[in-house]
Structure 1
Amino acid sequence: MDRLSRRLGVPDAVVVGLGAMLGAGVFVVFAPAAAAAGGTGLLVALALAGFVAYCNATSSARLAARYPESGGTYVYGRERLGPFAGFLAGWGFVVGKTASCAAMALTIGAYLWPGQARLVAVGAVLAVTGVNLRGVTRTVAATKVLVVVVLAVLALVAVTGLAGGEVRLDRLAEGGGTARGVLTAAGLLFFAFAGYARIATLGEEVRDPARTIPRAVPLALGLVLAVYLVLAVVAVGVLGPDRLAGSVAPLADVVTVAGLPGLAWVVRAGATVAVTGVLLSLLAGVGRTLLAMARRRDVPGVLAAVHPVHRVPHRAELTVAAVVVAVVALGDVRGAIGFSSCTVLVYYAITNAAAWTLGPDPTRRLPTRALAGAGLVGCLLLAVNLPAASVLAGFGVLALGALWYAVRPR
């Protein structure tokens, strides 16, 4: 059977996770999250989203070490909970992350050329797909460059905001949101953390997965949470929750208010690079989940092919790219984020349910089973508190997937 090559170590896996996470929260969802939760509520929501992501990361790491192959929770659900749970997880991931890919591509277009955002988005999808088709080592190499550039830009924003003397911590207490608003914001912000699972979906290409994945996942997640917290404090402290909620480019506004408007173009360029990194790893992850589903005939088996030279699931990746291009032609960024968050939270609920069946882990000090239970409850709670349109669309598409599973040819 065609297999992928194990080429990635801990540093490479961490880079993949950072590339998947850095950018989305800062450049896309801070504004709607602030609108839902206010100043203090935004920080609470960020911490809550980070905690749920940590629970999920712990569960994902344990499962990925036990089942080191492409597919992530699609594989874990099948092995631990049964074929239908695995199918529902895979369906939710592929559909939700395809919407995420479209949202990221449209964001690139909005930053680079607002008047032709969709055209630029299509070009970005084609370019990133070309990189991924050259092999996973090319993906990691490109992601390393993107991560370095993005970290430099985010550090510039933080230093400019702090040095400009415009950070007022009293603004953190403004615009207090309701408990429902905090949960809504946390569900949206979860979109920014979900990239850590890209490490698990590349499990078949990681060297010594039992050691590499449990180390790489929490390390990448912890680094991103620290960066997001610093930037959230700076953004709210400089702009205030009301202005942040209405901002199209909040970090560009931070440097403008701090007295250096000439740096706004640098931030916009950094945003483009960041979102490109997210798109790069997203397309790779979705393609590999589709590969795993094709191997088990939950989707057409023709998608199970692995390229004989570059060792990548080329047919699956080309299929995903074609669907993303179609969604870009019709999609809306904020709607895609809410829809993606709903379906992906259900995906991680299945992750935690699968991890629960593993029982306690005597080799680790963490209460792994309790974290799995907390992650399961947290995922479902955040999913149902997203905007109503996102909840209806997300659960509606999951129901359609379940119907297909029931009537498909065996």
Structure 2
Amino acid sequence: MTTLERRLGVRDAVVLGLGSMLGAGVFVVFAPATAAAGGGAGLLVALAIAGLVAFCNATSSARLAARYPESGGTYVYGRERLGEFAGYLAGWGFVVGKTASCAAMALTVGLYAAPALARPIAVAAVVALTAVNLLGVTKTAGVTRWLVAVTLGVLGVVVAVGLTHARVVPLDGSGTRPTGVLTAAGLLFFAFAGYARIATLGEEVRDPERTIPRAIPVALGAVLVVYAVVAVTALAVLGAPRLAVTPAPLAAVVQAAGVPGLAWLVRLGAAVAVLGVLLALLAGVARTTLAMARRRDLPESLAEIHPARRVPHRAQLLIGAVVVALVALADVRGAIGFSSVTVLVYYAIANASALTLPGRGRVVPAVGLVGCVVLAASLPWHSVLAGVLVLCAGALWFLARRRHPPLP
């Protein structure tokens, strides 16, 4: 079997994790999360809950990735620790949910760059980033490094401008409901989910037993700090009622601070940030597709690796083509809830897999498992229903293939 080449160090892995998380979430998710939480106090509690669940998931993923350093992430871990069906369900949910998420991210790029041309720009973005991923994983890491730098620069400008014009806003918790906080945490989890990209690229990381457990917590911790600072700034400038109904909250922050001329910079930064997420996400979905194809859970032809570029070029091209097709149908807000459901199921399987590892350290995966289930169940009912239907369709396909296996 042809394998991928280990070219990524700790710094590259951290950058890919940052690029996967510092994207659309920080620019769009605070508004619906604030509305669901019922106020500023609820938003910050929800952010803490989402961060805690993400930390548990990251810790479990790091332990598993160090033990099974190959492409595929939880698809591989579930198969190795829980059986073929658990691994398949994780891989199916990841590929389907994240492919739809890729389409939503591409549309977000278009909506921020030029709303009237959102779909053509989205298609162009997918085509261009698929081409970058086909050049090799080091090219992906290099481009992501620049995208992360631009994103952090724009967020720094928003925070600096916002804090100079911030006012003391009491964190009113009178409208906060426990169920609303959990729903908000589930939505906010969408903005944390990218750290899995480090694990799904496990076959391309140098010294994975050391690199992956270091890179995932560093990337997650940095993003949690950034999100907390941005959330506090937005609340201090806009207040919870206005934040809850603002479709572009960070652009609204600079406008409310009396610097409307910077709104274009925020819009540009949002587009660049989402490009970073989309680049890493396209690579991660292709690697999970590769892992599933190697085990014949997907067509075996998708397991082919380019002899020179050392990338799964057929899987990457297929994912790019499907995302381009979905751009015509995708809805950004609906994709957030749907993606959160499937990804939370994916991480629930990761935590359950980590519980079977020898040695101590069972508290963290247990908390992560319970947290994933609770947050998934707390999301809007239509998102939960869509996620359940997709997972059931995958389960039926798995059973059908077991009954009528492909010819060797």
In which range does the TM-score fall when normalised by the shorter chain?
A: over 0.9
Contact 1:25 1:228 in 2 (8 A): no
The residue type paired with residue 387 of structure 1 is P
Contact 2:33 2:244 in 1 (8 A): yes
The residue type paired with residue 2 of structure 1 is T
Partner residue in 2 for 1:227: 226
Give the C-alpha shift of residue 325 in structure 1.
1.2
The residue type paired with residue 4 of structure 1 is L
Contact 1:303 1:316 in 2 (8 A): yes
The whole-number CA distance in structure 2 between the counterparts of 1:167 and 1:209 is 46
Which of 393, 396, 401 is the matching residue for 1:400? 393
Partner residue in 1 for 2:251: 252
The residue type paired with residue 368 of structure 2 is G
**CA shift digits 1:316-338 (9 cap, x unpaired):** 11111111111110111000111
2:62 equivalent to 1:89: no
**CA shift digits 1:27-63 (9 cap, x unpaired):** 1211111110121111111110000000000000000
The whole-number CA distance in structure 2 between the counterparts of 1:168 and 1:339 is 36
Give the C-alpha shift of residue 168 in structure 1.
2.4
The residue type paired with residue 30 of structure 1 is F
The whole-number CA distance in structure 2 between the counterparts of 1:333 and 1:3 is 35
Contact 1:149 1:270 in 2 (8 A): yes
Listed as ranges, the gaps of 5+ residues in structure 1 are: 362-367
2:107 equivalent to 1:106: yes
The whole-number CA distance in structure 1 between the counterparts of 2:104 and 2:42 is 25
Tell me the TM-score normalized by structure 1. Answer: 0.97
After TM superposition, the structure 1 = structure 2 runs for residues 8-407 of structure 1, keeping only pairs within 5 Å, are 8-37=8-37, 38-164=39-165, 166-170=166-170, 172-173=171-172, 176-361=175-360, 368-407=361-400
The whole-number CA distance in structure 2 between the counterparts of 1:102 and 1:177 is 33
Contact 1:359 1:369 in 2 (8 A): no
Contact 2:24 2:108 in 1 (8 A): no
The residue type paired with residue 389 of structure 1 is H
Contact 1:174 1:240 in 2 (8 A): no
Contact 2:28 2:249 in 1 (8 A): no
The whole-number CA distance in structure 2 between the counterparts of 1:93 and 1:74 is 9
The whole-number CA distance in structure 2 between the counterparts of 1:160 and 1:23 is 20
The whole-number CA distance in structure 2 between the counterparts of 1:99 and 1:337 is 10
The whole-number CA distance in structure 1 between the counterparts of 2:168 and 2:292 is 50
Contact 2:169 2:239 in 1 (8 A): no
Listed as ranges, the gaps of 5+ residues in structure 2 are: none
Report runs of 4+ in structure 1 exceeding 3 Å deviation.
none
Give the C-alpha shift of residue 169 in structure 1.
3.2
The whole-number CA distance in structure 1 between the counterparts of 2:324 and 2:30 is 26
The residue type paired with residue 241 of structure 2 is D
2:5 equivalent to 1:5: yes
**CA shift digits 1:101-136 (9 cap, x unpaired):** 111111001001101211111111111101000000
Contact 1:19 1:274 in 2 (8 A): yes
3-state SS of the aligned residue for 1:177? coil
**CA shift digits 1:244-297 (9 cap, x unpaired):** 111121101001101111111011100011000000000000000000000000
3-state SS of the aligned residue for 2:362? helix
Give the C-alpha shift of residue 175 in structure 1.
6.4
Contact 2:293 2:300 in 1 (8 A): yes
3-state SS of the aligned residue for 2:2? coil
3-state SS of the aligned residue for 1:173? coil
- Between 1:240-249 and 1:185-194, the stretch displaced more is 240-249
The whole-number CA distance in structure 1 between the counterparts of 2:211 and 2:24 is 25
3-state SS of the aligned residue for 2:358? coil
| Identity within the alignment, % | 70
The residue type paired with residue 43 of structure 2 is L
Contact 1:39 1:175 in 2 (8 A): no
Contact 1:191 1:340 in 2 (8 A): yes
**CA shift digits 1:41-100 (9 cap, x unpaired):** 111111100000000000000000000000000000000000000000000100111111
Partner residue in 2 for 1:365: none
Contact 1:294 1:303 in 2 (8 A): yes
Tell me the TM-score normalized by structure 2. Answer: 0.97
Contact 2:71 2:202 in 1 (8 A): yes
Give the C-alpha shift of residue 359 in structure 1.
3.5
The residue type paired with residue 5 of structure 2 is S
Contact 2:42 2:173 in 1 (8 A): no
